Amino acid sequence: MNKLLIIVMLLISNNSLGQKSKMSFERFKALKMSYIAEKIGLTETEESLFWEIYERYEKKIFTDSRKEIKKIRRYYMTCKDSMSNDMALEMIKKINASEQHALQLKEERDKSLLEIFSAIKILKMHHAEYRFNREMVYKMKKK
**Residues 9-53: pLDDT tens digits?**
555 655 555 554 566 778 888 888 889 988 998 888 888 899 999
pLDDT score, position 9: 57
The answer to whether 5 touches 41, Cβ cutoff 8 Å, is no
Sign of CA dihedral 87, 75, 64, 128: negative
- The mean pLDDT value for 45-73 works out to 90
**pLDDT-derived band at 66, boundaries 50, 70, 90:** confident
Q: What percent of the chain has a predicted confidence (pLDDT) above 90?
A: 41
Distance CA 79, CA 9 (A): 43
Give the model confidence (pLDDT) of 108-125 as tens digits: 999 999 999 999 999 999
Q: How many CB atoms lie within 10 A of CB 100?
A: 11
- The mean pLDDT value for 77-103 works out to 90
- The mean pLDDT value for 78-99 works out to 90
- What is the pLDDT of the chain when averaged over all its residues? 84
- 3-class SS of residue 1: coil
